[in-house]
Structure 1
């Protein structure tokens, strides 16, 4: 993917690399944030052949890792669908037999009442997954690094093609965690964009990452 901001060098986003976009100008930072949210056209997204991409299909904007931690819940339907699609025949039969026994037990209880009600015979596995209360562990929701890693893993498991984007993760992660994140992204060969509002003396990380910086005077540094 190529990120284009008029008057500035294009920013390349590659698999296996974190692209840090550091901005020290408030107007530029606003343009980036609003564009990544789909509220502005100042920043545009292209494929390697410069065909423009739709923001909603190319960027998965998460934003501030703790302020938007509930964003994880928005993946629930995709996760459940992925679980459903990966079930083999033995797993499906085991769940069905367990459900049939539960349905029989409930029907026996209903027979003890004097009401014209019965248990539905059709089993919707997706609804059953939701009913079972699938959710993210609370320890993940309070750990910024775990949230980032989990979102990336969701993209891998569910084969999502959009590029995950967070803002200001340096507020929450140590230098060691940032370097660990670079290693993790390299190992899973996924792209990741981290946008920072910072000064030029902010030393992000060492390692195999791409760092792009626009200073207060709109000058690019790469």
Structure 2
């Protein structure tokens, strides 16, 4: 795929590849972020055959990793996925435990002598919500773990959108970044990073698809 934004040449984004756009222009940086967040028609997405496709349907904007709430992003999706992952034995155990809770509550209500009853209808999704499944504190507050969770969950949920992030290099050194890049390569993830840098760091990122836009709005790439 290619991300297009006038007046620059298209930016390549492919499966298992990290695409990095660094710019020394605050104007370009702000425009890129705004255009993605607002799904502005001045930025687009085309296939390798130059067919235009929906940016909104094929990209997922996450922005700054620390500004993400994993529970808000993924908890409901994970819960729905769990309903297909859980095996029959675990399902039967949950039904039995729920019935035990219902019996206890029925006895409590009987003692109150009120016209109230406990529903016998069992729903796995409601049960999972009741259990309070959520991401760990570490996963919610560590940039590396947040990005790792985004990659893993997107892979497990078979989401094929371009994963768009900003400010990643504020939080990760090259060793940790390489670990995430390798994970994305394993998963076949399409990763698109926007970063502010006053200098062209092409040598540092020679193993990735790298673009640099200088303060004069000149684009540099291999």
Residue 200 of structure 1: CA displacement?
A: 2.5
Confirm or deny: 8 A CA contact 1:25 1:218 kept in the other structure.
Answer: yes
Instruction: Give structure 1 stretches of 5+ with no counterpart.
Output: none
Alignment TM-score, normalising by the size of structure 1: 0.92
Q: Match for residue 29 of structure 1?
A: 29
CA pair 196-190 structure 1, distance change in 2 beyond 3 A: same
Where do residues 97-116 of structure 1 align in structure 2 (5 Å cutoff)?
A: 97-116=96-115
Assess, with a 3 A threshold, how the Cα gap between structure 1 residues 106 and 216 changes in structure 2: closer, same or farther. same
Q: For residues 85-104 of structure 1, what are the structure 2 equivalents within 5 Å?
A: 85-104=84-103
With structure 2 as the length reference, what TM-score do the two structures score?
Answer: 0.92
1:188 aligns to 2:199 (yes or no):
no
Change in Cα spacing, 1:168 to 1:72, as seen in structure 2 (3 Å) is farther
Deviation at 1:62, TM superposition (A): 0.8
Structure 2 alignment gaps of length 5 or more: none
Moved more, 51-60 or 128-137: 51-60
Superimposed CA distance per residue, residues 175-211 of structure 1 (whole angstroms, 9 cap, x where no aligned partner):
2111222222222221111110112244684563211
CA contact (8 A) 1:179 1:206 kept: no
Matched, 1:172 2:164: no
Provide the C-alpha distance between the structure 1 equivalents of 2:203 and 2:176, rounded to a whole number of angstroms: 11
Q: CA deviation at 1:50?
A: 2.5
Deviation per CA, 1:126-152, whole angstroms, max 9, x where unpaired?
121111111111111221111000011
Cα shift readout 1:9-46 (whole Å, capped 9, x = no counterpart): 11111111111111222222222111211342221112
Count of residue correspondences: 221
| SS at 2:69 equivalent | helix
- Displacement after TM superposition at 1:80 (Å): 0.8
Tell me the distance in 1 between the aligned counterparts of 2:71 and 2:5: 29
- 2:166 and 2:194 in contact (8 A); partners too: yes
RMSD: 1.8
Corresponding residue number in structure 2 for 1:11: 11
Query: C-alpha separation between the residues in 2 aligned to 1:72 and 1:199?
Result: 35
